[in-house]
Amino acid sequence: MRKAIEFLAFSAGACALMLFSTPLILAGLTAIYGEVGQVPPSVLGNLIYLSPLFPLLLGIVAIVRLKAAGVGIGRLIGISGSTIRGDLILGGAIGLIGLLLTLASLSLLSSVAAVPPFQLIPIRTHLYLATIGAVVPGVCEELFYRGMLFHIARPAPRWLVVTATAAAFSLWHIASPIYLPHTFLLGLMLGGAVAARGRLAPSIIGHSLANAAFGVWIIGGLPIPGA
- Give residue 170's domain range: 2-219
Give the pLDDT of residue 69. 93
pLDDT value of position 175 = 85
Q: Is residue 194 part of a domain?
A: yes
User: So what's the pLDDT on residue 44?
Assistant: 79
Neighbours of 16 (CB within 10 A): 11
Helix axes 158-171, 180-197, angle to 10 degrees: 140
Question: Are the C-beta atoms of residues 170 and 57 closer than 8 Å to each other?
Answer: no
Q: How many domains does the chain have?
A: 1
Residue 226 maps to a domain: no
With respect to residue 225, please indicate whether it lies within any of the assigned structural domains. Answer: no
Residue 226 is predicted with a pLDDT of: 67
Specify the 3-state DSSP secondary structure of 117. Answer: coil
Distances (CA, A) of 108 to 94, 114, 172: 21, 12, 21
Q: Is residue 172 part of a domain?
A: yes
Residue 23 domain-assigned (yes or no): yes
Q: What are the mean pLDDT values of the chain's consecutive 10-residue runs (227 residues total)?
A: 92 94 87 84 83 94 96 94 94 96 92 82 88 95 97 92 97 91 97 96 97 91 75
Rounded to two decimals, the pTM is 0.93
Cα separations in angstroms, 28 against 36, 50, 82, 140, 198 = 9, 12, 46, 23, 40
Distance set, CA 215 to CA 47, 125, 135, 161, 218 (Å): 17, 9, 12, 30, 5
Is 224 a member of any domain?
Answer: no
**227 within domain boundaries:** no
